Amino acid sequence: MMSISPEDYSDADTPFPQELLRNLGNYLPEYDIVKEYIDLYISSFWEYSLPVVDTAVLIHDFQTLFSKDATTGKCSVYVKNKWIDYAKIALVVMVFKAVLLMLNRSLQNGFYDEKDKLGVFVRRLLQFAKCDIKATLPALQTLILMYHMKKINPLDGDGGDSSKGSQLFKRAVNMAVAMGLHQDIDKIYKSQSASERGLMKEIWCTLYVYASRLSFDTGLPLTVYDDYIYHSKFPEYPALAIRLARYQRALVKLFSKPNPPEPSMLYEMIYSIEKNEGPSLLKLSEVINDLKKTDDIVEAYPTLMDIKTQA
């Protein structure tokens, strides 16, 4: 990451919450630009590719906690419900940062977070949200986006293998476990609406797939083993993604044993993958191989999802 001078860093690391919010409002571009980016996230391919944010709630929180200064047109940021609002503000800022990274709109409006100060603001906001001792949905959503953005952030990235974000990601998984998302969400959160429970299931399935991939890529132990997970919610997630995640988890367990596995065990696993998933993986690779530019990805996304949801 590009170094941040003490002067640059101080306004994002203030111990005073109201000063932090004032400094954040001063640093962000005009309110209308922030709103445009929020709208872009909601209407874009990226919102569907990482379905961990309720867009209606995101808009409500933005309209409630952010307002437009009548004189300057800049953002005024307020807290109404104490600590949890800091997590909601952090999520809004992280969504804005995600669009900024993915679309690289700096040449259009002159705003570019070249020293990743928004990341510093987000981490400080999460501290004020007490996310080290309080598990909340907006804090969890923010952590997931922070982890996901490491793949494309030139200042805080890791080449896409997510290894540098492993500690951040495991923090997200542990928060989800503390919230009980690995168990029967319909039973634990029966007083919540069906859409809220559905979002929690999407979040847990996303974490499950990401956790499997992280352990498979890096050799890190699995954060939560399948024996402790309530699996009946998984049919609501792309079936192929879940099946591949389970293969990855099985391979992680196989290679994590004190003694190296017998070659026959590995051959058996490869044969099982080829037999059960070969046609789907072949079709998936053919579609991906034909992608030449970003627009192709957007156009091919329905096809990719059809393949991933095959039973």
Judge whether residue 93 has pLDDT over 90.
yes
Q: Which helix (H) or strand (E) holds 77?
A: strand 75-77
Highest-pLDDT range among 69-83, 153-167, 219-233: 69-83
**Cβ contacts of residue 146 below 8 Å, gap of 6+?**
94, 119, 122, 165, 168
Q: How far, in Å, CA of 162 to CA of 98, rounded? A: 16
> Residue 62 to residues 11, 87, 201, 258: CA-CA distances in angstroms?
22, 12, 24, 50
**Cβ contacts of residue 311 below 8 Å, gap of 6+?**
239
HSE-CB for 22 with a 13 A CA cutoff: 7
Q: If you write DSSP's letter for every residue of 242-273 in order, what string do you get?
A: HHHHHHHHHHHHHHTSSSPPPHHHHHHHHHHH
Q: What is the mean pLDDT of residues 102-116?
A: 61
Q: How far, in Å, CA of 207 to CA of 52, rounded? A: 10
Q: What is the pLDDT of residue 1?
A: 40
Q: Which two tokens stand for residue 124?
A: 């400080």
% of the chain surpassing 70 pLDDT: 79
Please state the pTM of the whole predicted model: 0.87
Instruction: Decide which of 112 and 206 is more confident.
Output: 206
pLDDT band at 204 (very low <50, low <70, confident <90, very high): very high
Instruction: Decide which of 219 and 305 is more confident.
Output: 219
Q: Which two tokens stand for residue 195?
A: 């859409």
Q: What is the pLDDT of residue 106?
A: 47
Instruction: Decide which of 279 and 180 is more confident.
Output: 180
Helix (H) and strand (E) counts for the chain? Answer: 15, 2
Q: What is the pLDDT of residue 10?
A: 59
Judge whether residue 311 has pLDDT over 70.
no
> Residue 82 to residues 24, 125, 138: CA-CA distances in angstroms?
17, 12, 14
Judge whether residue 2 has pLDDT over 60.
no
Q: What is the pLDDT of residue 291?
A: 73
Q: What is the dihedral of CA 162, 166, 171, 174, to 10 degrees?
A: 100
Highest-pLDDT range among 146-155, 190-199, 234-243, 254-263: 190-199
Contact call for residues 212 and 245 (beta carbons, < 8 A): yes
Mean pLDDT of the chain: 84
**Cβ contacts of residue 31 below 8 Å, gap of 6+?**
66, 67, 68, 69, 73, 74, 75
Q: Which helix (H) or strand (E) holds 84?
A: helix 83-103
Span 249-280, pLDDT tens digits: 999 998 888 888 888 988 999 999 999 888 88
SS (HEC) of 172-186: HHHHHHHCCCCCCHH
Judge whether residue 173 has pLDDT over 80.
yes
Burial class (CB within 10 angstroms; exposed 0-12, middle 13-18, buried 19+) of 191: exposed
pLDDT band at 25 (very low <50, low <70, confident <90, very high): very high
pLDDT band at 133 (very low <50, low <70, confident <90, very high): very high
Q: What is the pLDDT of residue 292?
A: 66
SS (HEC) of 267-284: HHHHHHHHHHHHHHHHHH
Instruction: Decide which of 125 and 231 is more confident.
Output: 125
